Amino acid sequence: MTNAVNTSLQGDIFLIEINNPPVNAASAAVREGVIDAIRQFAAEDKAKAAVLYGAGRTFVAGADIREFGKLPAGPMLPEVVQIVEDSEKPVVCIIHGTALGGGLELALGSHVRVALKGSKVGLPEVAIGVMPGASGTQRLPRLIGFEAAAEIIATGRQVSAKEALQLGIVDAIEDMDDPKAAGIAAARRVIDQNLPVRRLSKMDEKVQAHKGDTAFFDAIRADVKKKARGQIAPVRAIDALENAANMPFDEGMTAEREIFMELMNSDQSKALRHAFFAEREVAKVPELANGTPKEIKQAGVIGGGTMGSGITLSMLFAGIPVTMVERDEESAARGKANVLKVLDDGIKKGRYDEAYRDNLMNTLYKVTTDFEALGDCDIIIEAAFEMLEVKQDLFRTLDKVARKDAILASNTSYLDINKIASVTSRPENVLGLHFFSPAHIMKLLEVVVADKTSADAVATGFALAKKLKKIGVRAGVCDGFIGNRILEVYMKAAAFMVEEGTSPYAIDKAVVGFGYPMGPHQMGDLAGLDIGLMSRKRRIAEGYKGRYAFEYLDWLGEKGDLGQKTGRGCYDYSADPRKGAENPEFLAAIEQIRKEKGIPQKGELSSDEIMRRYMAAMINEGAKVVEEGIALRPLDVDIVMLSGYGSPRWRGGPMHYADTIGLDKVLADLNEFAKEDPVFWKPAKLIEDLVAKGENFSSLNG
């Protein structure tokens, strides 16, 4: 076993190497090792300066998050940082890769900080529901001032080495790759030039400037609160920063620790940590054990509409050449224009320049009406009209023109991939790749595995997701896969509430209040109400099962009031094209439908009551999706809802949320609602079984 921290003496330079793969997290062994190393350094008379650096791909990426919530072991990180700072002889910290959270805090305890080119620093603790707890809220403002520190801590963003130098977080950037060599060079300078060392805990100038400045911190807090949308950690971080202005360093540290511990034990932090690990676990699917991903040197995309052009763009951004195929010249021109429009918008927003766009368009992108042009593609993704017959026709053509080993994917949102695969001579190469709109932005990619899909095809789907910087989630075949199937059910729960007397606006307000960026009716207006209408018509034609309550949305759709794109839908956008106002005609139509259908009226439900039903419907369907093997684990459902459907991350996704409030409580809610509608609210067997065993969804996450 290798040591988590290695020391050696090179002339008069003492080397302290942190070696805790994969990201050098500051685990108990690392913390003990660093303290021990600083003691050795102090005792070594020949050593005039120490270099603190990381082995492998990065400096310390933070505290070891896996230790959170467990019994504390070994010395705490704030103590370690203090011991580093207290060293009589200078400690030079070399940052390569990323110095995040506790990693940056260790660097702030050092006396000199040198970043290697391309490295990044940051205090991303808010992303996991905590705030810096090893002096980040006390040392960083002393170094760079409160405004810059508040922005970095409250957003948790990563700061480039260049910006870190401008802000003063690091003292220099070294154009070298090897942290050890860079450290020796930097330590040499410190020794030879007798450079002064700074102890940040002793710097008081920036702190004094804001002592007692309540108005200053209130203004920052108000701004952070608005952006945090219900998340507590960023707001509490400002409290800790205010303490830095008002308290002596040691007291500020004690208060920081208290707030850190309070946040670490909060439901929000537990949920965000679940999301962090689930996002990584979700990529671990059985097919990857024996499947080999295919290298994608050339891709084909069929269709240049919203989805086809979005998929094309996400490939182009990842450097993958794309041949787009459309059915005629006019559609091809439209497809090209769709791609260009997004690229031009990116230029206007300053994301890249004309040369970047021209390079993508001229060297990576091709559009044609000739299917034969797909003959050299490693993968072909079809994003054509959402009708089984249309897709089957296309796959028959693909079977003729595509290379025998090419992966053939459908971007269908609902249709049966088995039926699509069955028209080809190579169903093992066929799978679903369900992108979400806008496909070049949305993170989620459902990798839909049909009965005959090979492990290699699945592995290719996951490798593609990674390359496109998306989160691939394995889904089985069913109507709507994981996400849209669950969406349909909670949309139904919302529709029932509307029928029974709750205003759609009250539902949207409750859903937004819960932490979603928008409510289901706002979402419908944004996406276009024709999409839902079309899919419901298809279902009705196929024989709709259960109670139908979407007449109120059909009324808008049939009328042509399709949402934002037509200026009116559930909301009226005549005064404000984005936000919209209540649409009285819509409310009147709902009233009329309630009367015509003779639905018993419950009156308007409270926000709590709305969310109880909305979430119970979502959780119950999520459980059914897991029970049927459509999703591998509850965490897969959480990731789908978090990355594709706006579930608030700080609640961890619906399945984690169910565990938080208690699965027995969810079951009790379902049983209560089932008295009104036993079919719709029938509890999933999985929930009943887990509750009977005293377990919850987390026990299935492995």
The closest of 364, 370, 383 to 315, measured between CA atoms, is 364
Torsion of CA 98, 101, 105, 106, to 10 degrees: -60
CB of 102 to ligand 3H9, least distance (A): 3
Nearer to ligand 3H9 (CB atom), residue 63 or residue 383 = 63
Q: Are 411 and 383 in contact (CB under 8 A)?
A: yes
Q: How far is the CB of 74 from ligand 3H9 (least distance, A)?
A: 12
Residue 120 or 594 with smaller CB distance to ligand 3H9? 120
Q: Tell me the H-state helices in 455-519.
A: 455-467, 483-499, 504-514
Q: Which two tokens stand for residue 135?
A: 């002096």
Q: Which is nearer to ligand 3H9, 15 or 140 (CB)?
A: 140
Nearer to ligand 3H9, 277 or 414 (CB): 277
Residue number with CB closer to ligand 3H9 (157 or 538): 157
Return the C-alpha torsion angle 326, 332, 335, 336, nearest 10: 130
As measured in angstroms, the least distance from the Cβ of 177 to ligand 3H9 is 17
CA distance 643 to 630: 18
CB of 431 to ligand 3H9, least distance (A): 24
User: In angstroms, what CA-CA distances link 295 with 298, 379, 397, 445, 463?
Assistant: 9, 9, 23, 18, 9
Distance CA 461, CA 432 (A): 9
CB of 181 to ligand 3H9, least distance (A): 23
Contact 201, 248 (CB under 8 A): no
Least distance to ligand 3H9 from the beta carbon of 23, Å? 4
Q: DSSP for 588-631?
A: HHHHHHHHHHTPPP--PPPHHHHHHHHHHHHHHHHHHHHHTTSB
3-state secondary structure at position 332: helix
Which of 12/67 has CB closer to ligand 3H9? Answer: 67
Longest dimension (CA), the chain: 92
The DSSP bridge partners found for residue 431 are 409
Q: CB of residue 152 vs ligand 3H9: minimum separation in angstroms?
A: 13
Give the torsion sign (CA, 456, 460, 462, 463): positive
Q: What does the chain come to in residues?
A: 702
- Least separation in angstroms between residue 573's CB and ligand 3H9 is 39
For residues 588-614, b (16+ Cβ closer than 10 Å) or e, as one string? ebbeebbeeeeeeeeeebeeeebbbbb
For the chain, the 3-state helix, strand and coil shares in percent, each to the nearest 5, are 55, 10, 35
Q: Measured from the CB atom, is 102 or 461 closer to ligand 3H9?
A: 102
Give the residue with the Cβ less far from ligand 3H9, 61 or 307. Answer: 61
Q: How far is CA 169 from the centre of its chain?
A: 27
Residue with tokens 């260049």: 162
Q: Are 296 and 467 in contact (CB under 8 A)?
A: yes
Other beta carbons within 10 Å of 39 = 12
CA dihedral for 656, 659, 664, 666, sign (positive or negative): negative
CB of 32 to ligand 3H9, least distance (A): 14
Please report which helix (H) or strand (E) contains residue 392, including its range: helix 388-401
Note the residues at the interface with ligand 3H9 (CB under 6 A).
22-23, 25, 61-66, 77, 98, 100-102, 105, 124-125, 127-128, 132-134, 136, 277, 280
Q: CB of 575: closest distance to ligand 3H9 in angstroms?
A: 42
Q: Smaller CB distance to ligand 3H9: residue 37 or 127?
A: 127
Of 237 and 523, CB closest to ligand 3H9: 237
Give the residue with the Cβ less far from ligand 3H9, 134 or 244: 134
Instruction: Identify which of residues 126 and 322 has a Cβ nearer to ligand 3H9 in the complex.
Output: 126
Interatomic CA distance for residues 485 and 622, integer angstroms:
9
Closer by beta carbon to ligand 3H9, 134 or else 148: 134
Q: How far is the CB of 222 from ligand 3H9 (least distance, A)?
A: 25
Q: Are 399 and 421 in contact (CB under 8 A)?
A: no
Q: How far is the CB of 682 from ligand 3H9 (least distance, A)?
A: 36
CB of 408 to ligand 3H9, least distance (A): 30
